[in-house]
Amino acid sequence: MINVSIAGGTGYTAGELLRILLRHPEVNIESVISTTSAGTPVAEMHRDLLGETDLLFSDRFINPDVIFLCLGHGLSRAFLQENEIPENCRVIDLGNDFRNEPIFGNREFVFGLCELNREQICRAGNVANPGCFATTIMLALLPLAAKNLLQDEVHVHAITGSTGAGKKPGATTHFSYRDNNISVYKPFTHQHLEEIGHTLLAAGNDQLPQINFVPMRGDFTRGIFASIYTKWDGSLSEADMVRFYKEYYQSSPFVFVSDEPISLKEVVNTNKCLLHIEFHNGYIHITSITDNLVKGASGQAVQNMNLMFGLDETTGLRLKGNAF
């Protein structure tokens, strides 16, 4: 059994991680760390776990094989500095601290996009989990980058659920603001752009195209729906390009190319990314959808853990969605 500790146990990603790991056949959750809630039943904070676990929040870990860091952005470095973590304990960070700066002390973090870095993750001691928007966008563009076909500007409009903003309430996450409302935020400046750029170059594109990313807040709780397009040079036939996408993801158990248009509910509560490809007036248009808390965060983190410990990467992640 893999002994797991979760640091920052009260947020949405930690709750989702617990939901998955409690049903994982190879995991023992030894501690869920929250200094402000130590001694409180986990199910009091994560109400969907009532009847599922008797775990209490703790202010310390014991002897984990792996620690998941579900802390606020910028807090993972502080946690590693302030706590003596055994050298053989692996670390999976769900924040953004190590995605673009992977060296920290004697730890080096592998970027945890399984569909690109599977072999490196299998050998890794530490993994930086990708961001939710980044995952959705990168999976849409990786096959194009692999063939060096991103030679013109890429345009991305993507909408996310309110859970993407975290559990702490704010002016733009309040029900009165979100309900029946859509708004743009951080246009062209979103923090995930840097990791997207690094990844497209690593996938094989010879240059970094300009990525015009306009993120939007949706009036729903979970999921990301991304509409992405760029110029299409016609070097492959449309049928051959779609075929290549399917071949590219043939060994990826959670990425599927749909021949029919897709909708967000098809991935909610699952670790899937669904893609749909069309061609219009000299452009290739890709729709990409994920659940921001599962494939965009906690599910992908468990997928990385499975690879790191030599398990089938789907273990504990065969989750059923609801399309209605």
- 15-18 contacts at long range (C-beta below 8 A, 24 or more positions apart): 15/45, 15/46, 15/48, 15/49, 16/293, 16/294, 16/297, 16/298, 16/299, 17/68, 17/70, 17/94, 17/298, 17/301, 17/302, 18/42, 18/46, 18/49, 18/53, 18/55
Q: How far is CA 35 from the centre of its chain?
A: 25
Distance (Å) of CA 106 to CA 68, 96, 297, 317: 18, 18, 25, 31
CA distance 166 to 163: 5
Write down the catalytic residue from 70, 114, 132, 273. 132
Residue closest to 182 by CA, chosen among 158, 213, 205: 158
Residue 32 near residue 57, CB atoms below 8 Å: yes
Residue 223 near residue 264, CB atoms below 8 Å: yes
3-state secondary structure of 257: strand
CA distance 69 to 78: 11
* 132 in active site: yes
Residue 81 near residue 101, CB atoms below 8 Å: no
Give the catalytic positions in this structure: 132
